[in-house]
Amino acid sequence: MNLNATLIAQIVVFFILGWFTMKFVWPPIMKALDERAAKIADGLAAADKAKADLALAEKKAVEEMRKARESAGDVRATAEKQGAKVLEDARAEANRIIAQAREAAEGEAAAAAQRAKQDLREQVALLAVAGAEQILRREIDAKAHADLLANLKQELQ
């Protein structure tokens, strides 16, 4: 418990250590702290912004989806309309082709019937002549009775 020159030494050391800390210790630590504070502030701001962006994007996505649904509905309606029209056209075309075919077939059938009738008629005439020949058992000049035969043929028509 004696006062001596240690006191003076302590005063000198006190200021040296204080100066050293001020010069070499305090500034880098404070710089690191301030930088970290700035980083955290930036990070928080970025997070807030991201959140806002996300909300906006979600809203946009919903809007887009709604639009897409709407346009899909339009497309479907158009497609349905078009499909119905195509079906209608096809049906009409088919009917037309069927009618045409039927007409052609009917014409052909009629012509065939006509031809058959004609053949039949000619054969009937020949048969008639042959029949008559046999019935009459006499010679009939076909040529001399051509007119008669033609008349008969005409009547059969």
Partner 1 sequence: MAGNAPTASEYVVHHLTNLTLTGKAQQDVVDWSVINIDSVFWGFGLGILTVVVLWRLAQRATSGVPGRFQGFVELMVEMVNDQAKSIVHSAESRKFVAPLALTVFIWVFLMNFMDLIPVDLFPMIWENGLLPALGGDPAVAYGYMRIVPTADINVPLGMSISVLLLCFYYSIKIKGFGGWIHELFTAPFGNHPVLWPINFIMQMIEYLAKTVSHGLRLFGNLFAGELLFVLIALLGGTATVMGFIGHLIAGSIWAIFHILIIVLQAFIFMMLTLVYVGQAHESH
Tell me whether residue 13 or residue 77 sits nearer to partner 1 (CB atom): 13
Q: Residue 45 interacts with partner 1 (CB under 8 A)?
A: no
Q: Residue 48 interacts with partner 1 (CB under 8 A)?
A: no
Span of 31-39, 48-56, 60-68, 133-141 interacting with partner 1 by CB under 8 A: 31-39
Span of 7-15, 55-63, 128-136, 139-147 interacting with partner 1 by CB under 8 A: 7-15
Tell me whether residue 4 or residue 134 sits nearer to partner 1 (CB atom): 4
By CB neighbour count within 10 A (0-12 exposed, 13-18 middle, 19+ buried), where does 116 fall?
exposed
Q: How far apart are CA 89 and CA 78, in angstroms?
A: 16
Residues 43-75: b if buried by 16+ CB within 10 A, e if exposed: eeeeeeeeeeeeeeeeeeeeeeeeeeeeeeeee
Tell me whether residue 42 or residue 70 sits nearer to partner 1 (CB atom): 42
CB-based contact 95:108 (threshold 8 Å): no
CB-based contact 140:132 (threshold 8 Å): yes
Span of 22-30, 55-63, 73-81, 98-106 interacting with partner 1 by CB under 8 A: 22-30
Q: How far apart are CA 52 and CA 58, in angstroms?
A: 10
Q: At closest approach, how far in Å is the CB of 70 from partner 1?
A: 50
Residues that bind partner 1 (CB under 8 A): 1-11, 13-15, 17-22, 24-36, 39
